[in-house]
Amino acid sequence: MGKTSKLRLGLVAGALAAALAANALPAAAQPAAAPAAIERGKILTQPNVFGLFTTLKLNASWNAVPAKARMAAADEVKRLVEKHKDNVLVDIYLTRGLETQSDYFLRVHAYDLAKAQTFMRELRATTVGRHSEVTETLVGITKGLNYITKDQSPGLNAGLFSATYSGDAPRYALMVPVKKSAEWWNKPLEDRLKEIETHTAPTLAFLVNVKRKLYHSTGIDDTDFITYFETNDLLAFNNLMIALASVPENKYHVRWGSPTVLGTIHSPENVIKALAE
């Protein structure tokens, strides 16, 4: 064997040994690659991210908490959000005055659902948490597109990515759970694709004033999807829902809302301050 062949053989053996060493742990024991800190811009656009939605209603006992302590509760929540900022992204919306079953709702994003659970447990132990009842909790996970992909539906896919939100900064957030019938899930993919194309076509025009986000919940909660929207134009949102009520896909919905949760967008601290007033 010549010198060059020996050298090549040595390099290949070295690379193999390194690869084997790197794979020494069985797959299940390898630590999940969790990012060091949560970045809003990233976590809100990535697939395989958990979204935990919780609506809460204040008990009458909250009114008996001295005004000073109620105000201090806002700082306490701010500190808690800060404490967990490497594990979860927390958004809190004010629903008091707009909803019957809640005064505020949370949307918590995490790569690891257990971290979102820990945050929620600690929130329930804060002053405002101790005086609140949970009225709804929904868990979902983000995914890539199932239907309107470049390959399956190139025209609508291009429309989806060319439209950008150009309205005023959204002041409203909405959460709408959706569940579909067994008949839907038993349809062949090509039929479902056609239905989702008729869902997407009339909605593209609304992307200029409605921001959307979809979470998948089948099997991890009692719904199939959690849909989340932000807008500054509730009339446009109302027209969007009417457009979707009138497409055949709507016949397969066994849950569409129930509850529909509408809140206003503020910092977590300001939501609690508003509830403390």
For 225-241, b/e burial (b = at least 16 CB within 10 A) is: bbbbbbbbbeebbebbb
Q: Does 172 bind ligand HEM (CB under 6 A)?
A: no
Binding mask 121-160 for ligand HEM (x = CB under 6 A): ------------------------xxxx-----------x
For residue 201, the minimal CB distance to ligand HEM (Å) is 9
Rounded to the nearest 5°, which phi and psi values hold at 83?
Answer: -60, -35
For 177-214, b/e burial (b = at least 16 CB within 10 A) is: bbbbeeebeeeeeeebbbbbbebbeebeebbebbbbbe
For the segment 23-62, give every residue that binds ligand HEM (CB under 6 A): none
Residue written as tokens 């609508």?
156
- Residue 224 and residue 178 in contact, taking contact as beta carbons nearer than 8 Å: yes
Q: Does 247 bind ligand HEM (CB under 6 A)?
A: no
By the 10 Å C-beta count (0-12 exposed, 13-18 middle, 19+ buried), 57 is classed as buried
Distance CA 49, CA 43 (A): 7
Q: Which stretch binds ligand HEM (CB under 6 A): 60-68, 75-83, 174-182, 265-273?
A: 174-182
Q: Does 244 bind ligand HEM (CB under 6 A)?
A: yes
Closest among 250, 235, 264 to 174, alpha carbons compared: 264
For residue 194, the minimal CB distance to ligand HEM (Å) is 12
For 78-89, b/e burial (b = at least 16 CB within 10 A) is: bebbeebeebbb
Q: Does 176 bind ligand HEM (CB under 6 A)?
A: yes
- The reply to whether omega before 31 is within 30° of 0 (cis) is no
Q: Which of 96, 124, 212, 255 is catalytic?
A: 212
* Count of chain residues binding ligand HEM (CB under 6 A): 23
- Residue 203 and residue 240 in contact, taking contact as beta carbons nearer than 8 Å: yes
Binding mask 92-111 for ligand HEM (x = CB under 6 A): --------------------
For residue 160, the minimal CB distance to ligand HEM (Å) is 5
Show the DSSP H helices in 49-166 as ranges. Answer: 67-83, 113-124, 127-130, 154-162
Active site residue 212: yes
For the segment 194-233, give every residue that binds ligand HEM (CB under 6 A): 196, 199-200, 203-204, 206-207, 210, 212, 214, 225, 227
For residue 121, the minimal CB distance to ligand HEM (Å) is 29
Nearer to ligand HEM, 194 or 212 (CB): 212
Q: Which stretch binds ligand HEM (CB under 6 A): 75-83, 92-100, 172-180, 263-271?
A: 172-180
Residues engaged in binding ligand HEM (CB under 6 A): 145-148, 160, 176, 178, 180, 196, 199-200, 203-204, 206-207, 210, 212, 214, 225, 227, 240-241, 244
Active site residues: 212
